[in-house]
Structure 1
Amino acid sequence: MMKNLNNRPPNWALKFLRWFCDPDLLPGIEGDLMELHAERLAVSGYRKANRRLVADVLFLFRPAIMRPVVYRFQINRKAMLKNYLKVGVRNILRYKAFSLINIFGLAAAMSVCMLILLMLADQKSYDQFSLSKDRTYRILSKIPRSSAPNASSPFPLEESLTQDFPIVEAATQLVPGVGGELVVGDKSIELTGYFAGPTFFQVLGFELEVGDESASLQAPNLMIISSEVAKRLVGNDGSYSDLLGKPVRFFDRGLRIIQLDFGSETGSSPVDWGQFTITGVLDAEKYKSHLKFDVLVSTASLPALQREKKTENHVDDWQRYSYSYTYATLQEGKTVTDLISALDQLVVQKYEGNEDLKGLKLIPQPLTKITPGIFVGNPPSLQLPVEGYYILGFLALIIMLTACLNYTNLSIARALTRAKEIGVRKVNGAKRGNLVTQFMIESVLTSLLALVMGVALLLILKPGFEGLCANKFLHFDLGGSPVVYAGFVGLAVVTGVIAGLYPAVRLSGFSPLKSLKKLNEDSRSKLGFRKVLLSFQFVISLFFIVTSILIFRQFRHFVEFEYGFDSENIVNVPLQGNDYQLLISEMSSIPGVSGISACEFLPAMAMTNGIGVKPSDSESDPIAFEYLRVDSGFLGNLGLAVVAGRNLPVVDEAGRFVMINETGAKSLGYVSAANALGELVTVYGYEKPREVIGIMKDFRFQTPVMQDQIGPLMFINEPTHFSYLNIRLSTGNVTGALAAMQAKWKSIDPAHPFKYQFYNDQLVNVNLWMGDLVTIIGVIAFLAIVISCLGLLGMATYTTERRTKEVGIRKVLGASGLSIVLLLSRQFVVLLVVSVVIAAPLSYFVNNLWLQNFPNRVALGYGTLFLGAVILLFLGVVTIASQTLRASEKNPVDALRTE
């Protein structure tokens, strides 16, 4: 009679009992449980008996019953770990070629990851010095038609937050617009900064080096200067305390805090703001802040300057949402949710019924998340937005994934030669967990060795990165800290675990019988998996090759772009507040100077200056024009043609005339350029209509990255806004002419250094960010190709080694060297071709996506894809040939001796 299987106790419960129970107690406990189970079967049935058995097992799961630690863990685990390390080191040394390939591949990927970690660590260290940093927020403004919020906000916001909302402990605002000359005796120092109030220190956490923080910005006409400015005033041996109470004079020139150094800076004629008193010195170098400034002027100085029309008045203006930077510190216990609710309530109060600003939002941004932070408009300083780190991190992740796949692929191939070792260990009692541990320790050990090499590569990469054009403005400090370097070790360990996990689990599962049979793993399924991994690496490599070629072509397109004006041999000299007419008069007499003009800023320097224009007799909406203030010599000096009418007059004191380009005339509705001559146009921001005195030929006013089609443009002659001289030199003695210009400058303005740049160089420099992109993507592409080729080299080496005896037999039977090479190379060449077939359409699709964001772009044609494929195939074939040629040239006798 067959036993009823349903009467058997739950097998999983018994297994669980045997797993945790003390072996000395297990026989008695299990016997008692089985007797109880039999009794309960007769009385209650098998369902209740099983439930009771499970309950009893769970009840027994307590320390008194559990297996002692001495049984769970081997006493000699320290010795085992030492053994695993010894075996790992031996295997790394035994398989030198494979180990070097793996170590270098992981090191290259780690170096990129470590560089990005250093960048992030540097950016994360900003704005950490304030004691109330976790309760402090910057208020952003966001209008619906803008894709990104502005870092700035309305001027009245600070007062409204502190007076109307008790949740705010304190608030402060910074008003840009301080930029000019600080004059002390015969010294003149150029500086930029903000208007700030007395709560500046409480909210943002700065402290004065010398001076009283509570009174330093309290009254009108007070200013705090940076320690750098103070050092220039007192010298290296002077005391900052001597500057307290010192009267100085300030002449504003409208200089911006962000100076890009390639010709987009603007300025104006000096405006005397009067006398100020220095009340403090702040050592800005001690504080890693997103705010950069040379001077802070008391906000209480604004009313007098506004009455005298020396600066704009937006004290009660809620419409100007991009005027100041507002920061608020919350009361203890209040959260960002409370602040969001308060800001929403404020928006309803101030903007309800305002159609122009309908949908405006005021958004709090934590002080500690400004750097790195989201992309914002009108920032107080330049920084790489957090989206940039996402992109860089994604690229680094791809490189690291490629290196890990490379390690996985080669580890599987190499470990197959260790089949007997696996079998012997299993026969001698090694469990799968022991083998997994051994393989993982080898992987982590390899990764730690790669970390050492990666740090060496990082030391090579760092100077190159710090030399990029973008770093002149981003100021990355890549020194690192102990925490960051501890993170590098963690990165190495994690990389080793990820890279070695699959080989460890896969290889430790081999049966001892198959292992001792030498485990001929050339079956198509296993080899196919390795081919997939290698193909994936080459797909990534081709993608980066194509992307690098395309970005380089786009960069060259920008650098060689034809703007339609003559920039050859033009030297642009910043006026630095000097009288442009006096400089023109002096510079014109220098031999070699063939022409001089003046302008507000330089065309094609990524500077925009928009204004609304419409015919005076029209009721239509104004047309958006770019406009530039220039003198009468500007057109001729840059080789710009007048197609109708005449040039701007030398002097236009009444402000009567303007010039527009051909596109501007058409956009205003005139059929031909001649029809616009003599017409009056309303220029928004100017009281009187102006007469169109001439039409100039269209030229590219903007950089190609900002504009594809030529837009409407207007020239106005307003000398008070000129910032640059444009000096054209003849092709003779340029060096002598520059020396003479410097001498003339010193005779006119000994206080400021003579600055100049050639226009052609500036046109290149404005696009150097694209050159940085070429460098970054090019380095990543190079690393991806190197790692992939190293993987291919390892696989080719492994294949030729495994087929050494076959090659010897074929040569003895008369096979030629070429046929041997083709035999060994065929599968890898096919692999490369398949990778190209997969990667080509992928590269075309993805690169076309980002290319569409450029208004003026090169075409991604088949030629770029073909060039990338040729480069990849050439490198792959050379890599394979290095091993197959060596195998084909071996002596057949030596090959047949190989076991």
Structure 2
Amino acid sequence: MFRNYLKTAWRNLWKNKTYSTINILGLAIGMAACIVILLFVLYERRFDGMHGKNIYRLCEVQKFEGMVAPQNVALSMYPMGNTLKEEFPEVKDFVRVSGNGNVDLNYNGKRIFAERLAIVDSTFLKIFDFRVTAGQRESALMKPNSIVLTEKTAKNLFGNEDPVGKTVMRYIGDTTALMVTGVVIVPENSHLQFDGLVSFSTIYNPRMSQNWGGNWLTTYLVLEKNTNVAALEQKFPAYLKRHMAEDDRWKNYELFLQPLSAVHAGSTDITHDYLNAKKFDQRYTYIFSIIAIIILVIACINFMNLSTARSSERAREVGVRKAIGARRGQLSWQFMGESVLLSLMALAVALLVVKLVLPWVADFSDRRIELPLFTSPLALPVAIAATVLVGMLAGLYPAGYLASFEPVKVLKGSPQTGRNRGTLRNILVVGQFTAAVFLIIATIFALKQLRFMQTRDRGFNGEQVMLVGLDRDTNRKYDVIKQELLGNSLVNGVTASQQRLGGNIHQGGVVYHSGNGPRRELTSSGVVVDKDYLRVYKIPIIAGRDFSTDVGNNGREYVINETLARELLKEDKKGATMESLIGKMFGYMGIDSSGRIVGVAKDFNFNSLHHKIETLMMFNQKDFGYSEISVRIDGKRAKEAVAFVEGIWNQQAPGHPFKYSFLDQQFEQIYKADQQVSTVVAVLAGLAIIISCLGLFGLASFAAERRVKEIGIRKVLGASVQNIVTMLSRDFVKLVIIANLIAWPAAWLGVNTWLKDFAYRIDVSVWVFIIAGIIAVAIALFTVSFQAIRAGRMNPVQSLKSD
């Protein structure tokens, strides 16, 4: 019997090639979208899944005067790790991690550049379960001057030699000898990414243990199983008060714990998150999943619509089978089997599509996403089982409906084509296009917001700006390098800074004294800059002046932004202006009697447009050193300019690798997640439209076939092709218009909710909804008209000759 069902199903699919192809393609596209999104979501969910302990990251909420709003930060204080372990039995262990940036490593004359060297406690490899391929996990980081390399770094530095026990030289202005004590493998789906680990005892100073208030590292805690985290967090205010009672500083902080599983995808509201590679918003994974499921549902709707629409063609088959004794259950299983067979064929096409698009998806998402079809023993059985389930769900209603035909009626020529079935089919079409219109609107707004962020005037000119990293050694050569670069017309400006625009600018305490009252202590973002910084980045001065050329004779000079100026003016006498701030005493990280405000710069977005502009002060103090040179080059001769800069670098800093990037790339990275979301939503919206149109094409084709004699009669009576097209298109266009009316309010709510995440955002324009509706109607009209025109141009003699 099963063989007979299979043979009948295959014959039916082969007989109706057009409808079978539409169904298979629709289901295949829906399945492919679901599989790709599922692989992406699983990859995201497995971030940091290699670690087995109950690990939490310690984070702070900082609330200082001068801040636009309280900030969640991923930083903590050096003394917190050991004191938390001592005072709270819930804390089993801790590890502190500090990024040390770019470092040169040398072994027997071979020199490499380690971009991500981290300084960690000796407990790092005991807490985190990174795979150790050489050395002892427990003791590798116990002693000072110990370094554990990643497998990639070890390979680059030592080749095929065993690195353990060998000494490498670290260059950071002076030379430090480090002994390699281990090698580890760092998976790509770890939020902690590093090239090497140096023991904290290498740089330890007893003053660190008393540095309450200095936030410069990240602390991870291992908690006892079944710890009530909320109850533990409630004890933290008293803990802070015990250790920071002086000047009531503890009131400026709150502590909270973040589970390791949430660090990668649950930290979008956490700033100064320097150690969180490939940070992503978990809400987007939910959005992707929902959209993918919607697309699959649309594909299933296509199947149900086409199956029920073609019920009249199979009515006699059902009647004959019932007349010779077939039971309703048997017929239901037969039609369900056809649905499952079609789904399995769609799965084969979907897997082929996934295989073809995965390389692009991996490159686009910057994630090594693979299809584990044959590498995982459960992948293929699960895929087949899920496909069978989809086939059964998609075929459930058509099977039940077809099996319910009464043989007496259908054999007399009445296939029970009632209103209820047509109504349900119309509802399903409306549902399809409602989802499609919603996605079109979401795509347009996502692209508009992304375009807005990329093109909005940030308040500075960052075009054609090369960024070249500095260390303590090359800092000494900065003035010479700058003068050499400025001596060529390929370079339009050179400056330097301690931090990069677009990054999390460090914050620190500042002191302001207007002379009319008590001094004010605030917190502000601050960056050390070269005297030409504002000129090179073309940041306007709206009060006072720029930095002078000879800071040494004038004391420390500060240029503040408008936001900080407004904050300082809050407590000044009424009527005070920004000009009145010029010359006022201002100090950073403590009192500086010689420090003065010399200028107020126009506000500029030094961070993402997700966040409002914070208070900022810039000061020119060469003793602090710079981390990066900014070189504005002639964009028309970019290749020549880059080669010139490299030549000067190699001449003045021999042995130091020349690594550069452009500031535009920094902001592209900032908005990369937004770019990915916009692209994915656009692709999924396109797939939803394609699948919906496939279904609409099938229904229009079937409607034209069923009304072929009616069309022939109308043409004989004088109807034009346009009349025929209007007749066949009218009902479908009505359904799409209804779908628009349902989708618009839902999209309005969804878009407004999404845009709330941006401090600077576009307006929700009504014209976008109208355009989306026009697009949907036009696509539907085009799809239906294709079949309608074909039907309208048929020779009526052919359709009427049998009557």
Q: TM-score, normalised by structure 1?
A: 0.79
Distance in 2 (CA, whole Å) between partners of 1:459 and 1:572 is 38
Q: 1:726 to 1:144 in 2, by over 3 A?
A: closer
Bigger Rg, structure 1 or 2: 1
Please point out which of 630, 643, 655 is paired with 2:529. 630
Q: CA deviation at 1:611?
A: 4.2
| Structure 2 unaligned residues grouped into runs of 5+ | 64-68
Tell me what 1:25 maps to.
none
Distance in 2 (CA, whole Å) between partners of 1:283 and 1:359 is 36
**1:465 aligned onto 2:370:** no
Q: Is the 8 A contact 1:245 1:278 kept in 2?
A: yes
Distance in 2 (CA, whole Å) between partners of 1:226 and 1:591 is 43
Q: 1:280 to 1:764 in 2, by over 3 A?
A: closer
Q: CA deviation at 1:573?
A: 2.7
How many residues in Structure 1 have an aligned counterpart in Structure 2?
Answer: 775
Distance in 2 (CA, whole Å) between partners of 1:375 and 1:730 is 36
Letter in 2 for 1:538: F
Distance in 1 (CA, whole Å) between partners of 2:231 and 2:635 is 66
Q: Is the 8 A contact 1:344 1:362 kept in 2?
A: no
Q: CA deviation at 1:289?
A: 4.0
Please point out which of 290, 306, 315 is paired with 1:419. 315
Tell me what 1:137 maps to.
55
Distance in 1 (CA, whole Å) between partners of 2:490 and 2:265 is 49
**1:238 aligned onto 2:161:** yes
Q: 1:816 to 1:337 in 2, by over 3 A?
A: same
Q: CA deviation at 1:362?
A: 5.2
**1:615 aligned onto 2:512:** yes
Q: Is the 8 A contact 1:656 1:689 kept in 2?
A: yes
Letter in 1 for 2:349: M
Letter in 2 for 1:138: Y
Tell me what 2:195 maps to.
294
The C-alpha deviation readout for 1:22-74, integer Å capped at 9, x for no partner, is xxxxxxxxxxxxxxxxxxxxxxxxxxxxxxxxxxxxxxxxxxxxxxxxxxxxx
Letter in 2 for 1:181: V
Distance in 2 (CA, whole Å) between partners of 1:350 and 1:607 is 25
Matches within 5 A, 1:335-350: 335-337=225-227
**1:588 aligned onto 2:489:** no
Q: 1:488 to 1:571 in 2, by over 3 A?
A: same
Tell me what 1:110 maps to.
31
Q: CA deviation at 1:408?
A: 1.4
Tell me what 1:574 maps to.
469
**1:869 aligned onto 2:764:** no
* Secondary structure of the structure 2 residue equivalent to 1:555: helix
Q: 1:503 to 1:724 in 2, by over 3 A?
A: same
Letter in 1 for 2:557: F
**1:565 aligned onto 2:469:** no
Tell me what 1:713 maps to.
616
Tell me what 1:282 maps to.
183
* Secondary structure of the structure 2 residue equivalent to 1:283: strand
* Secondary structure of the structure 1 residue equivalent to 2:148: strand
**1:223 aligned onto 2:147:** yes
Distance in 2 (CA, whole Å) between partners of 1:760 and 1:342 is 43
Q: Is the 8 A contact 2:405 2:416 kept in 1?
A: no
**1:248 aligned onto 2:138:** no
Q: Is the 8 A contact 2:166 2:180 kept in 1?
A: yes
* Secondary structure of the structure 1 residue equivalent to 2:751: helix
| Structure 1 unaligned residues grouped into runs of 5+ | 1-79, 252-269, 308-312
Q: 1:487 to 1:152 in 2, by over 3 A?
A: farther
Tell me what 1:179 maps to.
101
**1:661 aligned onto 2:585:** no
Distance in 2 (CA, whole Å) between partners of 1:198 and 1:488 is 44
Q: Is the 8 A contact 2:60 2:73 kept in 1?
A: yes
Distance in 1 (CA, whole Å) between partners of 2:581 and 2:71 is 38
Letter in 2 for 1:238: E
Distance in 1 (CA, whole Å) between partners of 2:645 and 2:59 is 46
Tell me what 2:66 maps to.
none
Letter in 1 for 2:686: F
Q: CA deviation at 1:537?
A: 0.8
Greater shift after overlay, 406-415 or 843-852? 843-852
Tell me what 1:726 maps to.
630
Q: 1:368 to 1:573 in 2, by over 3 A?
A: closer
Matches within 5 A, 1:327-342: 327-328=221-222, 330=224, 335-337=225-227
Distance in 2 (CA, whole Å) between partners of 1:376 and 1:855 is 12
Identical columns (%): 29
Letter in 2 for 1:202: K
Q: CA deviation at 1:712?
A: 4.1
Q: CA deviation at 1:427?
A: 2.0
Q: 1:339 to 1:606 in 2, by over 3 A?
A: closer
The C-alpha deviation readout for 1:382-407, integer Å capped at 9, x for no partner, is 34344332221111111112111121
Distance in 1 (CA, whole Å) between partners of 2:23 and 2:555 is 73
Letter in 1 for 2:222: A
Distance in 2 (CA, whole Å) between partners of 1:139 and 1:697 is 37
Tell me what 2:288 maps to.
392
Tell me what 2:597 maps to.
692
Distance in 2 (CA, whole Å) between partners of 1:626 and 1:456 is 52
**1:555 aligned onto 2:450:** yes
Tell me what 2:12 maps to.
91
* Secondary structure of the structure 2 residue equivalent to 1:847: helix
Q: CA deviation at 1:509?
A: 2.2
Greater shift after overlay, 645-654 or 673-682? 645-654
Q: Is the 8 A contact 1:207 1:213 kept in 2?
A: no
Please point out which of 801, 808, 815 is paired with 2:712. 808
Q: 1:869 to 1:806 in 2, by over 3 A?
A: same
Matches within 5 A, 1:475-874: 476=369, 481-482=375-376, 483-577=378-472, 578-579=474-475, 580-603=478-501, 605-613=502-510, 615-616=512-513, 617=515, 618-619=517-518, 622=521, 625-653=524-552, 656-669=556-569, 671-685=576-590, 687-688=592-593, 690-707=595-612, 712-719=615-622, 720-730=624-634, 733-760=637-664, 762-764=666-668, 766-874=670-778
Distance in 1 (CA, whole Å) between partners of 2:591 and 2:369 is 43
Q: CA deviation at 1:327?
A: 4.0
Please point out which of 325, 340, 343 is paired with 2:219. 325
Q: Is the 8 A contact 1:544 1:777 kept in 2?
A: yes
Distance in 1 (CA, whole Å) between partners of 2:83 and 2:618 is 41
Instruction: Please tell me the root mean square deviation across aligned C-alpha atoms, in Å.
Output: 3.4
